[in-house]
């Protein structure tokens, strides 16, 4: 019940101002977002890779309001890539981007987002790594998939995300499960209407397994973005049935969530990529993490009261 309320608050400017200024917020934010600058996040990159983990890095931000902000987002990723270069991590550190941060919702947004994201994909390829386009709310997805197609024409390794809760996703998965594709499957983190998305957890979980099967039986590279222990076991079983070796798919989890499981799966010989977000515009990302687990909200409220 609380999840949808928190997701609605994630789009409210008033709540953004209140929560950002509240005492105790930073302590809870730090659990999910380990830094505001490249300098703060690079030690985390070194630490995680030294433990056998891989990363996908997100400069947090979304719902920008001017082309200048979209260019600033592009430049923030270019700076990150430049700073990653000497570490020579290749695909062990890739990027995740939200096209809304590159201008997708502005006038002429589709072209603007493509124009701004292309140099990031080019720069990532220049250091031997890739970019994955995150999935935002359902109204943005036709544009995201079209940009993904355009980028793949020049950079075939460009990945994208599909969300199990959407009715459209099985069809998207069939289209995307071609040779060389990289597709992250997640449950979905936005507030979506019943006209386009399953609302019940058990329906979403069942849809996840159906889509997972399509990806595992396909010719692409599935990226399993979930912390759900049941789905992790099912992934291992489906991979076995599809004859996939451990390097023919990967697990992905969010920084700050089930960290022991990251290490356990990596120690078992799986590829485990940690989605590591950093930056100052953390509000939307943080609120989605609260919405996913009401216990986070209780912890958050307690930390505000005890400050």
Give the binding site for ligand FAD (CB under 6 A).
Answer: 134-135, 161, 163, 186-190, 225-228, 252-254, 257-258, 275, 289, 292-293, 296
247 is catalytic: no
Longest CA–CA span in the chain (Å) reads 53
Going by C-beta distance under 8 Å and a sequence separation of 6 or more, which residues neighbour residue 39?
A: none
Q: How many residues does the chain have?
A: 307
CA separation, residue 173 to residues 38, 156, 166, 207, 215 (Å): 34, 17, 11, 12, 7
Q: Between 58 and 103, name the residue whose CB sits nearer to ligand FAD.
A: 58
| CA separation for the pair 275, 294 (Å, rounded) | 21
Of residues 184, 271, 273, 289, which has the active-site annotation?
Answer: 184
Closest to ligand FAD by CB, 14 or 295: 295
Helix H or strand E segment including 297: helix 294-305
Count CB atoms within 10 A of the CB of residue 201.
Answer: 11
Cβ distance to ligand FAD smaller for residue 153 or 295? 295
At its nearest, how many Å lie between ligand FAD and the CB of residue 261? 9
Q: For ligand FAD, which is the closer residue by CB, 86 or 117? A: 117
- Closer to ligand FAD by Cβ: residue 56 or 116: 56
In the residue annotation, 281 being an active-site residue is answered as no
What is d(CA 304, CA 27) in angstroms, rounded to the nearest whole number? 9
Q: Helix (H, G, I), strand (E, B), or coil: what is residue 47?
A: helix
**Helices 13-21, 283-292: inter-axial angle, 10-degree rounding:** 90
The two three-digit tokens of residue 166, written as one number: 């959407």
The owner of tokens 């809304």 is 100
In the complex, least distance from residue 86 CB atom to ligand FAD, rounded to whole angstroms? 26
Minimum separation from the CB atom of position 103 to ligand FAD (A): 18
CB of 307 to ligand FAD, least distance (A): 21
* Nearest distance, CB of residue 123 and ligand FAD, angstroms: 21
Catalytic residue positions, numbered: 134, 184
């Amino acid at each position: 019940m609380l999840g949808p309320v928190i997701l609605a608050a994630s789009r409210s400017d008033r709540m953004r101002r209140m929560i950002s200024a509240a005492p105790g917020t930073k302590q809870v934010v730090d659990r999910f977002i380990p830094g505001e600058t490249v300098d703060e996040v690079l030690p985390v990159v070194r630490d995680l890779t030294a433990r056998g983990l891989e990363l996908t890095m997100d400069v947090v931000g979304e719902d920008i309001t001017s082309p200048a902000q979209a260019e600033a987002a592009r430049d923030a990723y270019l700076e990150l890539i430049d700073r990653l270069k000497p570490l020579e991590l290749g695909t062990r550190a890739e990027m995740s981007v939200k096209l809304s941060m590159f201008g997708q919702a502005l006038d002429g947004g589709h072209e603007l987002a493509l124009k701004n994201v292309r140099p990031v994909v080019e720069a990532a390829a220049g250091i031997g790594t890739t970019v994955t386009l995150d999935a935002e709310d359902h109204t943005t997805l036709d544009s995201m998939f079209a940009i993904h197609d355009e980028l793949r024409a020049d950079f075939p390794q460009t990945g994208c995300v599909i969300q199990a809760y959407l009715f459209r996703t099985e069809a998207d998965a069939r289209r995307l499960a071609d040779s060389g594709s990289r597709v992250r499957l997640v449950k979905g983190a936005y507030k979506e209407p019943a006209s386009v998305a399953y609302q019940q957890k058990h329906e979403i979980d069942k849809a996840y397994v159906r889509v997972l099967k399509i990806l595992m039986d396909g010719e692409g590279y599935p990226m399993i973005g979930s912390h759900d222990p049941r789905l992790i076991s099912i992934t291992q079983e489906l991979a076995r049935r599809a004859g996939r070796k451990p390097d023919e798919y990967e697990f992905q989890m969010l920084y700050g969530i089930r960290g022991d499981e990251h290490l356990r799966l990596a120690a078992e010989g799986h590829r485990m990529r940690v989605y590591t977000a950093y930056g100052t515009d953390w509000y939307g990302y943080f609120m989605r993490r609260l919405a996913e687990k009401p216990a986070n909200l209780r912890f958050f409220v307690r930390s505000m009261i005890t400050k």
